[in-house]
Structure 1
Amino acid sequence: MTERAGVLDSFLRPKLALRLGFALSLAILPLGLISVFQTYELLEERQVLSETALLAQTQQVFSESRDMIQAALGVGRTLSDIINDDAVSYDNCGALMRGLVEREPAYVFAGFVDPALNVTCASDGVPPAERSVTSLGTELASREIEVVMHSLEFAAGIATVSVLVPVFDGDDYRGVIWIAIHMNLLIEKLAEAAPDVNLVLFEADGGIIATAHYTDMRRAVLPENERLDLLAARGRHTFRDTNRFGITRDFAVVPLVPGKVFALGSWEPRQSGLVRLRHEQMFALYFPLLIWAITIAVAYIWVHYLVIRHVRRLRSWMRLYAAGRGDLEGAQLDNAPDELEVVAESFRAMTRRLSEQEREREADLREKTVLLREVHHRVKNNLQLISSMLNMQIRATKSAEAKHLLRRVQDRVMALSAIHRYLYMARNLSLVRADTLLDGIIQQLVMVGTLDETGRKIEVTTEFDAVEISPDQSVPLSLLATEAAINAVKHCGMTTGIDAWINIALKDLGDGNYGLSVVNSYVALTQQDMAAHGPDYGSGLGAKLIESFVAQLNGTLEINQHADRYELHVVFPVNWHSAPDAA
């Protein structure tokens, strides 16, 4: 788990190149921000100038139309002052209106409408009784200056742009001066002003007054996503949108009569206009990013050439050395800086020292291993010599009881000899294969199926798992198995003539524990058997030795005696620690 966490942490930790890139980014960040800020300031200024130029062009195109409407408003204000003179009669008023229309060809009609919406005097001399006006009732009753598109019912429905100027005598409302401009003349002025521009005159509420081409498709030149009343509410401004034909256009809105009449110009997009400004804005944003990317790339190439590639080569040397490759004396860096050459030389010196120390350690280990094997060999020879001396004593002894006791001592000595023989022949002296060791001891005790000097055959079966123990555990375990086997011989029914058997097993129980089991057939000894073996037979020495060996293994002992079998079970830990009282 710790190793996996270390690998994950190494994967998530930023690499040297990323750290350098982050550091360089922070270094050039102020310059980039200053560049972006200054460029945007310049672009905003240029955009304001471009919008101003577009608005000025739009206002210039509408100049004649604006002058015509402004002139009509001026005339209306002048007439309102004249009408307020009580000396003006109906005949004088009519003559005044007729003279105005005759002097100005753009005017179709001029008249005065009283608060009751009756034309009291007019340019064509029509009697007032026939001039009741209802179609402009809302505009005439608003008591404000109005400019609207209107068809004159009494003049064969001529389309006009009607300019309405209220007349006040102090706070007393007297009526409205009505001047009608011929619509065709206004349309001609718009059409002649700029053939490649779509022009629209509209009211503050969004009603269209006039267009350059006053046809059924006149609304198709309007912006698709904007309303005229909302454009009028924003005042003087420019924007980009598609018209209702789906063509992208630059639009400019200019007030001609503040709050009343507005002009909308629709222009072909120009590279020097809004489009170019947007491109330059994008360039102002991405140019510092481009400079940053180039700076990071150049810095990375140089850092990689001067540092990273040498660091990676040093890392590969370390990995090779960790994998067991010690021949790094000839490893060299390629044109590395002096600082990294010092690091490489230090690493090579370290590998030389470690390799020399490793060779010395291996030589010492081989020497100690040879000495330790020699010790085990000599101990084994000495134990075999003692076993031979005991064997000679057994042959010379006449007493059956003495022979029996000497035989048991000889078995214990041979068990110790088997341990040292195994250690002498083993390749690894730090761990002992317990199954191989016990199998050799049991085979020696069985002596080709015979466990007693009388030559009786006892069926012996073994079942050993391939487990490893320390050399310190091997001595008490071997002696424990020997004593348990000797104890099994006593109770397996050697004098009754039944089939005697012994089963010896060594198992890996899991959870860090091993288990040794010795199970044998069982027949209780008679008084004659006890007397035949002497008064010291069954004195309990073997049981005491077994308990002592179990304590040395820091294990637990369990003995179960049944009518037909005798069971001995020992459980001891793999990680062995001497019992406190084992000494």
Structure 2
Amino acid sequence: MPAETRTTGRSPARRFGWRPDRLQGIRFRLGLAMAAALLPIFILSLIQTQADFRQQAEARRVNLQLAAERSSASTKARLDSTQVLLRALSPAALGPYCTPRLSALVDDLEGYEGLYRVSPTGQAVCASGRDEGFRSGVAPAGQSGWFERLRAGEDMVVMRAPVDSDYPPALIVAIRAERPMGRFDGAMAAVIPLTTLQPDTRDPALPQGSETALTDGAGRLLTASDASAFQLSGGGDVAGWVERARNDGAAVFEARDSRGQRRDYAGAALAGGDLYVLISAPSPGLLSWARLNPIGALLLPLGAWLTAFAAVMLLSERLFIRWLDYLERVAAIYAKGRFSVRPIQAMNAPSEIRVMARTLDEMAEAITVRDRSLTDSLAEKDALMREIHHRVKNNLQIISSLLSMQQRAVADASAKAALGDTRQRISALALIYRTLYQSDDVRHADARVFLTELVGQLIASEAGRGPMVVSSVEADTLYVDPDKLAPLALWLVEAVSNAQKHAFAGRGGHLKVRFRVDGATSVLEVEDDGPGVPSDDDVGVGRTLMGAFAKQLRGEAQMLPAPGGGTIARMTFATPEAVHPEEAP
């Protein structure tokens, strides 16, 4: 009955569906193909998002510039109101109540440190503020830059007041005073603390992390919410932007601050070329576009791409890969020779897989039928070979029996001995065929078993004709084919016959047969305890045949004296190729 395949003992990697070779499999390639197909959409989404980011970045810079202009307008309005106040006070600033009036205005109006009336010579003729003196740079003002500019004809000057440890940083705002004929008549000046002019960073239109500052006409910081944001990397400053702001009314640029952070800067002029507003905000980073709209810009396209990729991997696993793994396991079982397993589960697979499973099933059935036919043919051939060997053995035994009858009928002793030797040789050949058809494999025989039986047969054939001969056999196991076994057997027949004729005749004795396999060389020895090595004059047909049989095995035969007396007939030859080499028990 066909059996359904079962898989056990799988490694954890295979059990959970992952193997290193999956990188070369259909599922991985389908996933890569789908990923490549969806990649342009993902890239297009990234490009569109990047374009949106650039638009947003540009809008951010525009907003930063607008915020600078708004701050500039707000601060400029404050300066304009100061100018209006100074012009309104200029005619009345020379009266007897000038000082109390200016002091009262400073107390009532927020954001003023002091108000001053300066004579054409630069002396303060009327002032609010402290009794102990005037702020440095206000009076005497004869050599001050702002006073000289007013004397030269400018209507209004705005500049930073000189640093004075007794006063906070401030601006001097001064207007030109003239007599009715246009003659220079001094100036009206107001001192405004810089903190009151600082642009507000709480403007909702400003990006997070924005900082504000006021600079003079040379680009030097007058006041800043965070001075490090306006100190550029490498020790530079932001003075270079003033020219653009002076020419265009506003300027936008990008630079790195002293902490290495990339920032956007936007500035605008406040009062002519004397005062400027500068706003700074961190520049968007490389991936800040993803933070602006993380779901729509990055997560949604990436999620769609990953979902499609995972769907392809899962569907390929369910539709193809698991069935291919199943067929692979079935094929592996077939490779081990178990063709009784049938891919029954594949009947629920897609049509292409069913076709492959049906093909495997038909292949297994064809191999099973072929194997059965080959097995039957081999069994029949084996039986025929055994029958042939049996018949050859029987025929040789018949020939041996005929020779035995002829031997008994011959009266000549030499002829009788020759017939006996021939009969022994034929019996040895018959023993080869008997060993073959009695062995498990009719094509090969174990030399150890064969030599043991042959020695016993040779000794038994002469047992009743004289004194007893005791034999012992020590042999290694070696499976060889009959072509190599025949010369080995015939050499042994000649060696044992020679010992029976010359060593044991009329006295009996002890016969030792040894067969050793030593790698590429084998040695077969026949030792007797007779009178010793025969002389060269006694060389007959047997010794000649022994040499000829040794040459057939690519070896040589020797007759040597035994250590304890007697003779050793030795044949050293190349070891025949072993079919099933194994150690002798």
Structure-2-length-normalised TM-score:
0.64
| Structure 1 counterpart of 2:66 | 56
Q: CA deviation at 1:358?
A: 1.9
| Structure 2 counterpart of 1:390 | 403
| Structure 2 counterpart of 1:345 | 358
> Is 1:194 equivalent to 2:202 in the alignment?
yes
- 1 or 2 for the larger relative contact order (CA 8 Å, sep ≥6)? 2
**CA-to-aligned-CA distance 1:381-411 (integer Å, 9 cap, x gap):** 2222333333444455555434433332232
> Is 1:462 equivalent to 2:474 in the alignment?
yes
> Is 1:571 equivalent to 2:574 in the alignment?
yes
| Structure 1 counterpart of 2:583 | none
Q: CA deviation at 1:458?
A: 5.3
Q: CA deviation at 1:569?
A: 0.9
Q: CA deviation at 1:360?
A: 1.7
Q: Give the whole-Å Cα distance in 2 for the aligned partners of 1:28 and 1:297.
A: 12
Q: Which amino acid aligns with 1:538?
A: V
**CA-to-aligned-CA distance 1:183-230 (integer Å, 9 cap, x gap):** 52x312327673897533357999642135xxxxx65x8599967836
Q: Give the whole-Å Cα distance in 2 for the aligned partners of 1:452 and 1:56.
A: 137
2:457 aligned to 433, 444, 452, which one? 444
Q: From the superposition, tell whether residues 434 and 189 of structure 1 become closer, same or farther in structure 2 (CA, over 3 Å).
A: same
2:532 aligned to 489, 503, 523, which one? 523
Q: Give the whole-Å Cα distance in 1 for the aligned partners of 2:139 and 2:334.
A: 119
Q: Give the whole-Å Cα distance in 2 for the aligned partners of 1:147 and 1:543.
A: 141
Give yes or no for contact 2:113–2:191 (8 Å, CA) kept in 1.
Answer: yes
Q: From the superposition, tell whether residues 38 and 457 of structure 1 become closer, same or farther in structure 2 (CA, over 3 Å).
A: same
> Is 1:308 equivalent to 2:330 in the alignment?
no
Q: Which amino acid aligns with 1:557?
A: E
What are the equivalent positions in structure 2 for 1:13-28 lying under 5 Å apart? 14-28=24-38
Q: CA deviation at 1:329?
A: 6.1
What are the equivalent positions in structure 2 for 1:164-563 lying under 5 Å apart? 182=191, 184=193, 186-190=194-198, 194=202, 199-201=212-214, 208-211=221-224, 222=229, 229=236, 236=252, 252-256=264-268, 263-265=278-280, 277-280=290-293, 284-285=297-298, 287-328=300-341, 331=344, 333-447=346-460, 453-457=465-469, 460-464=472-476, 466-487=477-498, 493-494=503-504, 502-509=512-519, 513-518=520-525, 520=527, 523-525=532-534, 538-539=539-540, 541-553=541-553, 555-557=554-556, 559=558, 561=560
Q: Give the whole-Å Cα distance in 2 for the aligned partners of 1:261 and 1:498.
A: 139
Q: Which amino acid aligns with 1:49?
A: A
**CA-to-aligned-CA distance 1:398-430 (integer Å, 9 cap, x gap):** 554344333322322222122111111112223
Give yes or no for contact 1:151–1:158 (8 Å, CA) kept in 2.
Answer: no
| Structure 2 counterpart of 1:122 | 122
**CA-to-aligned-CA distance 1:506-537 (integer Å, 9 cap, x gap):** 3150xxx351332536823369xx7xxxxxx6
For structure 2, list consecutive stretches of 5 or more residues without a partner in the other structure: 1-18, 84-101, 126-133, 147-156, 175-186, 205-209, 242-250, 580-585
- Indicate the SS of the match to 2:40: helix
> Is 1:31 equivalent to 2:41 in the alignment?
yes
Q: From the superposition, tell whether residues 263 and 364 of structure 1 become closer, same or farther in structure 2 (CA, over 3 Å).
A: same
**CA-to-aligned-CA distance 1:13-59 (integer Å, 9 cap, x gap):** 70111121122223223333222222222222223223432443355
Q: Give the whole-Å Cα distance in 2 for the aligned partners of 1:504 and 1:569.
A: 12
Q: Which amino acid aligns with 2:162?
A: S
Question: % of aligned pairs identical?
Answer: 22
- Indicate the SS of the match to 2:440: coil
Q: CA deviation at 1:182?
A: 3.5
Structure-1-length-normalised TM-score:
0.65
For structure 1, list consecutive stretches of 5 or more residues without a partner in the other structure: 1-8, 74-98, 113-118, 137-145, 165-177, 213-217, 531-536, 577-583
Q: Give the whole-Å Cα distance in 2 for the aligned partners of 1:547 and 1:110.
A: 147
Q: Give the whole-Å Cα distance in 1 for the aligned partners of 2:279 and 2:41.
A: 43
Give yes or no for contact 1:111–1:179 (8 Å, CA) kept in 2.
Answer: yes
Q: CA deviation at 1:479?
A: 2.7
Q: Which amino acid aligns with 1:574?
A: E
Q: Give the whole-Å Cα distance in 1 for the aligned partners of 2:234 and 2:467.
A: 123
Q: CA deviation at 1:365?
A: 1.5
**CA-to-aligned-CA distance 1:61-104 (integer Å, 9 cap, x gap):** 4543467789999xxxxxxxxxxxxxxxxxxxxxxxxx9xx999
Q: Which amino acid aligns with 2:555?
A: T
Q: Give the whole-Å Cα distance in 1 for the aligned partners of 2:499 and 2:299.
A: 93
- Name whichever of 25-34 and 254-263 sits farther off: 254-263
Alignment length, in residue pairs? 482
Q: Give the whole-Å Cα distance in 2 for the aligned partners of 1:546 and 1:70.
A: 140
Q: CA deviation at 1:276?
A: 6.8
Q: Which amino acid aligns with 2:458?
A: L
Q: Give the whole-Å Cα distance in 1 for the aligned partners of 2:489 and 2:274.
A: 115
| Structure 2 counterpart of 1:93 | none
Q: From the superposition, tell whether residues 279 and 230 of structure 1 become closer, same or farther in structure 2 (CA, over 3 Å).
A: same
- Indicate the SS of the match to 1:199: strand
Q: Give the whole-Å Cα distance in 2 for the aligned partners of 1:36 and 1:227.
A: 35
Q: Give the whole-Å Cα distance in 1 for the aligned partners of 2:230 and 2:478.
A: 91
